[in-house]
Amino acid sequence: MDREQMVLINELTQGKELAKQLRKHLNPSSSKETREFLLQKILGSYEKALSMLNCGASSMVHEPNLNITILETPSSFANGSPRSEDSDLDCKDHVFKKRKTMPRWSEQVKVCSRTGVEGSLNDGYCWRKYGQKDILGANHPRGYFRCTHRHAQGCLATKQVQKSDEDPSIFEVTYRGRHTCSQNSQLAAMASPSVSKEKKNHYLKQREQEENPKQSQEGMFNFGAGFKVKTEDLDNREDIFPSFNFSETSIDGENYFMGSFSPAFISPATSESNYFPVSPSRMNNFGLGHSVQTPESDFTDIISAPTSLTNSPIGEDFDFSLGKVDFQSNFQFDNLEFFS
DNA sequence: AAGATTTGACCGAG
DNA sequence: CTCGGTCAAATCTT
């Protein structure tokens, strides 16, 4: 069986799995958005499979191996209004309040990859590191990031990045809160052909330093990175389906190339593609290889393929990142074009 | 000088 | 008390 066949099977299998997920979400406790999202993914998956049958699927063979797991923990969606988080964080002048006390529900998305690309890739948002902690029982420290525009625009989004204990090539990214800032204009500008390459390189260099000041200077990069991504504390179901991006960061003295999900702040009312910069089928196509452990959730939906690909040589992955895949024009992978 | 990261201190929860 | 998350001064980078 060749790769294209495997990808095709992957698509179809994921379509099936997604349909199963949708069935789970038919009960009234699941949100309409969740169902619509799943439906969208199913359609995307089959759409992709069909297009592969028509076109030979040659565009997919260079995609990195990713698994994406969407975890939902409705039990954590407790009492209180969605404003509670905002008001909590708005009290920054007061004594720090733990998020643990906040009403919350969480959405988790986990991604695994066996492949990585060289250099700096960002997740489409500007993050500023504000802390790092050694976590008990974890072999690697956890990095804490907040949106660069926290003060300027009051954006409350934060993320945590931690290297996986089990698999050093896997990193877990936890997003909290949603972006209320306007960073997409910058990204849109980046994607625009009218922007000079110098400017784009400058931007990427800034981002690289942002997230990995030491390693980026050394020019050392960790290949074969994997990732886990999850979001939580989203105060609005509109935000449960973030945009998929890649980024690099530095935790535990290493460079990470991460897939990430940033809560989309683009209105879902605009268009499907805007709401989900990379279609679910695209993401599912990443899932060519590994299982993801999701021990902490009783609601585990693994969107993955039963097939597996061997790790691709760096060059191939890089080809992927350079745009062999027909990502939509507003997809933030556009940045990758300027990475080399 | 401005803006970023580093890192120990601090806080609340358990 | 310990632990995770954040603050903020010191330091670094541009």
Neighbouring C-alpha atoms within 13 Å toward the C-beta of A204: 25
Tell me which of A143 and A11 has the higher pLDDT: A143
Q: Nearest to residue A249, comparing CAs of A129, A100, A84, A72? A: A129
Q: Does the pLDDT value for residue A132 go beyond 90? A: yes
Number of residues that make up chain A: 340
Tell me which of A98 and A45 has the higher pLDDT: A45
Strand partners, A246: A259
The nucleotides of chain B lying under 7 Å from a protein CB are 4-14
- The pLDDT score that the predictor gives to residue A324 is 36
Residue A324 has what DSSP assignment? I
**d(CA A213, C1' C13) / Å:** 9
**d(CA A159, C1' C5) / Å:** 11
DSSP string, A4-24: HHHHHHHHHHHHHHHHHHHHH
Q: Nearest to residue A115, comparing CAs of A221, A9, A250? A: A221
Highest mean pLDDT (candidates A230-234, A276-280, A287-291, A331-335): A230-234
The token duo for A127 is: 């993050």
- Pick out residues 203-222 of chain A having their CB under 7 A from any atom of nucleic acid strand C: 209, 213, 217
Nucleotide nearest to A214 (CA to C1'): B5
- Pick out residues 149-178 of chain A having their CB under 7 A from any atom of nucleic acid strand C: 158, 160, 176
Sign of CA dihedral A254, A255, A261, A267: positive
Lowest mean pLDDT among A24-28, A31-35, A325-329: A325-329
**d(CA A162, C1' C9) / Å:** 25
Q: Are A280 and A41 contacting, i.e. CB atoms less than 8 angstroms apart?
A: yes
Is A72 exposed, middle or buried, given 0-12, 13-18 or 19+ CB atoms closer than 10 A? buried
What is the residue type of A23? R
| Secondary structure string (H, E, C) spanning A238-302 | HHCCCEEEEEEEEECCEEEEEEEEECCCCCCCCCHHHHCCCCHHHHHHHCCCCCCCCCCCCCEEE
Strand partners, A107: A72, A231
Closest residue, by C-alpha, to the C1' of B14: A100
Highest mean pLDDT (candidates A68-82, A218-232, A268-282): A218-232
* pLDDT tens, position by position, A147-204: 988 888 888 888 888 888 777 777 788 888 877 777 654 444 444 444 444 444 544 4
Cβ of A128 less than 7 A from strand C: no
**d(CA A77, C1' B3) / Å:** 37
Q: How far apart are CA A313 and CA A336, in angstroms?
A: 18
Average pLDDT, chain A: 52
Strand partners, A163: A171
**d(CA A176, C1' C10) / Å:** 28
Q: Is A40 helix (H, G, I), strand (E, B) or coil?
A: helix
The nucleotides of chain C lying under 7 Å from a protein CB are 2-8, 13-14
**d(CA A153, C1' B4) / Å:** 18
- The pLDDT score that the predictor gives to residue A4 is 62
Mean pLDDT across A311-333: 36
**d(CA A168, C1' C1) / Å:** 32
Cβ of A285 less than 7 A from strand C: no
- Under the banding of pLDDT at 50, 70 and 90, the label for residue A133 is very high
Nucleotide nearest to A132 (CA to C1'): B7
